[in-house]
Structure 1
């Protein structure tokens, strides 16, 4: 295994620290609520950084810099769309979802919330939403495992097959042991590491390429179109990239952070912290890919790995430009991005299987200890399936993420957004929204209609289905009274 000792030591220390946090969280995990939502005890800083880190997976340090490196600033529309979408999600959904879940049976998961909010005694809404979570999250988990495998493959010279298991092992360990608290506490550490890497790396690359003037001249010499945000784009292309922002309203792993906040009052402060962190990270990741064009143009002798796979641009720059100890820390930031998202995705899948299938349909009288251990077993099960999906070495991180992101954004986004804003929404409306949104994504993706990102038609058609089906019926008095009580609590708590 061709690896410098400092980098290996840094990785081992980092992974050991994350697993240690998992064991610390284990001591605070006494029941299923603790394991799934940390007992709704997260303060504003942890809520903010945990939401950010769980959102920004391996694509932040691999997929997006690679896209910018290949195509220039025209790929940055995705970052703009994400910033707008994340802000609107914090503004309209975060606080309202926090109180709505508490007023609707103290719901621990999205399927649990949908079932209580719309008085679905048949269990159909719970089952369908849990199935959507399992299908799309398993694909999403696979993207994180691919990113981790690429990191271990590039850094330690492992085969892809070995790197696949090595990259996933640490995340599975602390998620298995510590549950939501472990995931949230480690997310805070990982978010700090990610922003450090994404501020430092582009600065050092800029210095190595001779400053702004020299760097921009080299980028322009390679292809002047790299500066053109409209290069190679169409109206549909820009709308598709901006459309990524719609996905935020329906991502269960991000929405879980809102549900776990200690109070509505924490949300406003958390929004400011999270958006600042997010903007700095996205600017940094675009800069890494953009300045990397200049660096590898000037040093073609070391550009081989990036030419072979452009998603390695951050990895190669860190290895080339930094002392091995610092490089180890920076490469740990990729592992942090992968681990932070993968861990919460595994936990949401585990929650769906445990709370929405096992407890609801198989063992209604199960003890809290039994449910926690079933949750842990489900983490292992989902992880193994995701590893099998990720076993194809031709997988690309951004491609896997985009499909799963669209699936959640279209299936759950309209349902979550409208359910916290409109008291007239009905159970049949929610069911129609989930089904129409999810089916539209699958069909649109399969036929690649107009080249439009499938989340956009899925979100629009899902929202229309909710509105028209809900208008055809009426919510019960109980649904309306709980909505109004939660809305009053939200307004009073701001």
Structure 2
């Protein structure tokens, strides 16, 4: 591989820029709140794009276009479910979570919020929720490292082992050094790169196939059922794809962006920016896969790599249709998608280990400087474990990503929503709901998978029922709990007058 390879040079410049942002953020990181939540200083633009980029991993530029290329528009139900779920998350959760976490002990993490919100002196909520986060997010991190390694391996022809470290090193570096601010600022750059790639690529593909009418005619000639939104779909199948949207309410790395906003008043503007970004990106990803059908049916001699692996449709179109320098920028968008999600997951794991275990159980009076460095050490620890898992790319654990999304959505989603809108919710209800949601996901996945129903649906329902039933058993909420809830809700309502 020549050092003058435009794609290599583009990647190196991009990675160097991300690391520089990390070192710049280092100067603004003075305590644990800065490292975990950026000192709650994010404006609406950074909050919006950081939430979007942390959500959308390499799936956005590889998995979704590949699925649409293979099966047509029937694969876009998941995109519709995600858009609805994300919008409701911004509308119902974002603003209230921002004020409630501040009123409940200035909570920096979800386990910290649950503990303070429900006055859980036993700390069992903190332990259970932190363990769920660590287990599922370590798996998530491993999948992100594999995606980055595959990108480096296929783009530069290097061995998987070398690509593994090359893909992970930069993300680990800027997360380690700059913490939440570095992750959020780099997410903003990465989100901008992703939307640029996903708007430009389908336009150029359509031009290469002769315009709108020839493109749609070519797709129809290939297989008219590509236009059928219900092709091969059952009622349960459509519900399962739409149900991915339920996962948003319980994703710790996305909820952390809401908690870090500089003010509850920034949330409505952030919602508009984030939803516009998301709709354009998802529509662009669907269009890349859909228009790719027309391009490769007209140029079958160039379809070899895509026929072998349909998830390479974006990569191959970028390489074929663009100048090598522009192609390098577009391929960097895949790296951006991988890095933005991986960095958020590493930081959430570090936060759980530092705030919810080290500080809570071992060093209650630790200095802020000590906690920041423990947080950095935890980033390295989680990264090493994730790399060890990712060293075997065929490991079955990496197939658990949709499982982890369901686990978070079912275990945390209803707990978060009801804790923000119902003052009568208690610790017993939160704990029962969390356990019921998590256990249902595991049991459904292993024993009822034959139904075809995504495990988040029964998990979410049973978690909600558990909260409603067990909150009425045992002690009622204390006067202090109700007072904090009412004060936070009043602040939220006043901000929206």
State how far apart, in whole Å, the 2-side matches of 1:181 and 1:220 are: 47
Q: How far 1:301 sits from its partner (Å)?
A: 2.1
- Helix, strand or coil for the counterpart of 2:40? coil
Aligned to 1:488: 490
1:437-448 matches, within 5 Å, as 437-447=437-447, 448=449
Aligned to 2:303: 303
- Helix, strand or coil for the counterpart of 2:30? coil
- Helix, strand or coil for the counterpart of 2:272? helix
Structure 1 runs of 4+ with >4 Å offset: 395-400
Aligned to 2:467: 466
Q: How far 1:438 sits from its partner (Å)?
A: 1.0
Question: Does the aligned pair in 2 maintain the 1:246–1:409 contact within 8 Å?
Answer: yes
Question: Does the aligned pair in 2 maintain the 1:3–1:157 contact within 8 Å?
Answer: no
Question: Does the aligned pair in 2 maintain the 1:59–1:397 contact within 8 Å?
Answer: no
Q: How far 1:387 sits from its partner (Å)?
A: 1.9
TM-score (norm 1): 0.98
RMSD: 1.5
Residues 245-270 of structure 1, C-alpha deviations (whole Å, 9 max, x = no match): 00110010000000000111000000
Aligned to 2:341: 341
State how far apart, in whole Å, the 1-side matches of 2:256 and 2:389 are: 25
Change (3 A) 1:386 1:440: same
Long gaps (5+) in structure 1: none
Residues 287-338 of structure 1, C-alpha deviations (whole Å, 9 max, x = no match): 0111111222222222222222221111111111111100010011111111
Aligned to 2:204: 204
Residues 65-105 of structure 1, C-alpha deviations (whole Å, 9 max, x = no match): 11111111111000000010000000000000000000000
State how far apart, in whole Å, the 1-side matches of 2:262 and 2:137 are: 26
Change (3 A) 1:4 1:311: farther
Q: How far 1:112 sits from its partner (Å)?
A: 0.2
Change (3 A) 1:121 1:87: same
State how far apart, in whole Å, the 2-side matches of 1:392 and 1:128 are: 29
State how far apart, in whole Å, the 2-side matches of 1:225 and 1:391 are: 40
TM-score (norm 2): 0.97
Q: How far 1:54 sits from its partner (Å)?
A: 0.7
1:451 maps to 2:452: yes
Change (3 A) 1:272 1:387: same
State how far apart, in whole Å, the 2-side matches of 1:489 and 1:85 are: 25
1:232-381 matches, within 5 Å, as 232-381=232-381
State how far apart, in whole Å, the 2-side matches of 1:319 and 1:162 are: 23
Long gaps (5+) in structure 2: none
Question: Does the aligned pair in 2 maintain the 1:183–1:343 contact within 8 Å?
Answer: yes
Aligned to 2:479: 477
State how far apart, in whole Å, the 2-side matches of 1:81 and 1:444 are: 21
